Structure 1
Amino acid sequence: MPIRVLIADDNSFIREGMRIILSSYADFEVVVAVENGAEAVDYCLANEVDVALLDIRMPVMNGVQATREIAARTKTKPFILTTFDDDEYIMEAIQAGARGYLLKNNEPDRIRDAIRSVFAEHRVLQDVVLEKLAEGANAGPAAGAGGRIDRSLFTERELDVIALIAKGLSNKEISKKLFLSEGTVANHITSILNKTALEHRTQIAIYYLTGATKPSEN
């Protein structure tokens, strides 16, 4: 069965262009293309949609509001696809339930792969988006940063390591910060990966910053 995709964008050129591009892939079915968030929510409430591609700035209801409604009221996975990488939009969209945040300037194949990842229950954050979230963590406790992870899974030292990974520190920098050997830091990271079923440190950072249980940096 193909992945059923909804496209919501107030720019008709982009909306129809994206419909043509995605329809060219055999495993995708573009079920509808709408021009605002309210129409996207209404369609998802009445029909089965796997992934909803939502622009941020739309009339009637913007992408963040639509994400919140779709995530709370349907089984559809909201995915922000936009030209805006503003910090406020990123955090609001992720907190609202967005499974991904990607910029429109990506190649079609990257967007295709990202939709597949979101459909497969992964989280997709573009590198620039992840960097902005990390900057927020560096500036101080971001709203919700680390607040959605299951802290009972980890030791206090592992939680310290996770937080520092999210700030972009290397193993060597973490070892100096926590007064541990690099080998001990590596052991903590191995333990964290085993407990979360994640694969590498970038996924640990996304896990901490977004609370995503199956993150992906694609």
Structure 2
Amino acid sequence: MLRVLVVDDQDLFRAGFSMILDAQPDMTVVGEAADGAEAVRAATRLQPDVVLMDVRMPNVDGVEATSAICAATGAKVLVLTMFDLDEYVFAALRAGASGFLLKDMRRDELVEAVRIVAGGDALLAPSVTRRLVASVVSGGHPVPRLAAQLAALTERESETLRRVARGLSNAEIAADMILSEHTVKTHVSNVLSKLGLRDRVQAVAFAYESGLVVAGTTDH
């Protein structure tokens, strides 16, 4: 049973999200919070699997709360906001969020997002993913320190990272590389471990910043 903490300063949003998630057979809402400070206290006390986190809140905002929760607990944070703005996307990801979605999503998308993040994967709204990559590559030149770290990867792991950066799922990578999904999952895990990355979102950023993948190409 997935334990979820719902954080939003608006009562209607909190109640709506809680009702949707609590109705799922594999989920239970263990608590709610109306601001970031309350969220940190609740996450520390309740130890949820996933925290559904609003961004704009009084006192302590969602970005600061995300950073504190990721540092103090094993919870995955899924950020929800009405504002599709870069500053929130990047700040939330830097703080350790595993997902970033807009509040205009359908209820089935919300439920699936919680399951994906709880399973250890990362998730971003498509528009966010495109702008994340565009922002990362806007500097134009690879970061030498990151490029040097690529030497730690085997050829297969590098090939896997290239495909992760292109947005392919494990199943798609397996078909593309003619490998089993289990093998691909192992390669992805090794890549994250060797490079000290939290999840696939950070892996995408690393692939572009290191120069392994160049914007606008589909090289293998």
TM-score by length of 2: 0.70
- Say if 2:204 is the partner of 1:208: yes
How many angstroms does 1:23 deviate by? 1.3
1:88 deviates by 1.2
Q: 1:165 and 1:4 mapped to 2: Cα distance? A: 28
* Secondary structure of residue in 1 paired with 2:25: coil
Q: Does 2:192 correspond to 1:196? A: no
RMSD (CA atoms): 3.5
Q: CA deviation at 1:207?
A: 2.2
Who is 1:101 aligned against?
Answer: 100
Post-superposition offset of 1:40: 0.7
Change (3 A) 1:205 1:11: closer
Can you give the 5+ residue segments of structure 1 that lack an aligned partner in the other structure?
169-188, 212-218
In the alignment, the residues of structure 1 paired with residue 28 and residue 80 of structure 2 have an alpha-carbon distance, to the nearest angstrom, of 17
1:38-96 deviation per Cα after TM superposition (whole angstroms, max 9, x unaligned): 11100111122110000110111111101100000111111101112211111111111
CA contact (8 A) 1:165 1:205 kept: no
Q: CA deviation at 1:26?
A: 1.3
Instruction: Judge conservation of contact 1:95–1:210 (CA < 8 Å) in 2.
Output: no
Work out whether 1:153 is the aligned partner of 2:153: yes
Report what 1:34 is aligned to.
Answer: 33
Which residue does 2:6 correspond to in 1?
7
**Scaled by the length of structure 1, what TM-score is found?**
0.71
Partner of 2:79, secondary structure, is strand
Cα distance in 1, alignment partners of residues 125 and 39 from structure 2 = 23
Match of 2:123 in 1: 124
Once the two structures are superposed, residues 106-131 of structure 1 have per-residue CA deviations (whole angstroms, 9 ceiling, x without a partner) of 11111100100111111111101101
- CA shift digits 1:133-186 (9 cap, x unpaired): 0110232169x9x9599622156xx59x94x995x7xxxxxxxxxxxxxxxxxx
User: Structure 1 residues 45 and 88 mapped into 2: Cα distance closer, same or farther (>3 Å)?
Assistant: same
SS of the residue corresponding to residue 122 of structure 1 reads coil
SS at match of 1:112: helix
Distance 1:83 1:105 in 2: 7
Residue equivalent to 1:81:
80
Within 5 A, what are the aligned runs for 1:144-183? 147=146, 151=150, 152-153=152-153, 162=162, 166=165
- Runs of at least 5 residues in structure 2 that lack an aligned partner in the other structure: 167-175, 190-198, 208-220
Displacement of 1:196: 3.3
Distance 1:165 1:98, change over 3 A: closer
Does the CA contact (< 8 Å) of 2:52 and 2:78 recur in 1?
Answer: yes
Contact 1:149/1:208 (<8 A) preserved: no
